[in-house]
Amino acid sequence: MDGLDPKLLNKLKQKVQRELAEKEKETIEYWMNELLKVYQKNHQTLAEFKAEIRSFIDKMKNRLEVLKTRGY
């Protein structure tokens, strides 16, 4: 990018990288906590556990569809 100060450009790149890393961390923590909730439940049967996992997967699919439709 001609005309931009290399130091400013580097600072902007670092800021964006930090923000992306923070968002990724928040996202992973959210889904990990959701999965822990499923794991910690006292499921009586395998079918009950599988239904809970299916629900979790559906939540993730729905979220991905929302992000895709918004163009992210």
Q: How many CB atoms lie within 10 A of CB 43?
A: 14
pLDDT band at 71, cuts 50/70/90? Answer: confident
Whether residue 37 contacts residue 45, with contact meaning beta carbons closer than 8 Å, is answered with: no
Whether residue 56 contacts residue 34, with contact meaning beta carbons closer than 8 Å, is answered with: yes
| Per-residue model confidence as pLDDT tens digits over 59-68 | 999 989 998 8
Show the tokens assigned to 48: 């009950």
What is the DSSP track for 38-65?
HHHS--SSHHHHHHHHHHHHHHHHHHHH
For the cut 90, the answer to whether the pLDDT of residue 1 exceeds it is no
Q: How far apart are the first and last CA of the chain?
A: 24
| Per-residue model confidence as pLDDT tens digits over 5-61 | 889 999 999 999 999 999 999 999 999 999 999 999 999 999 999 999 999 999 999
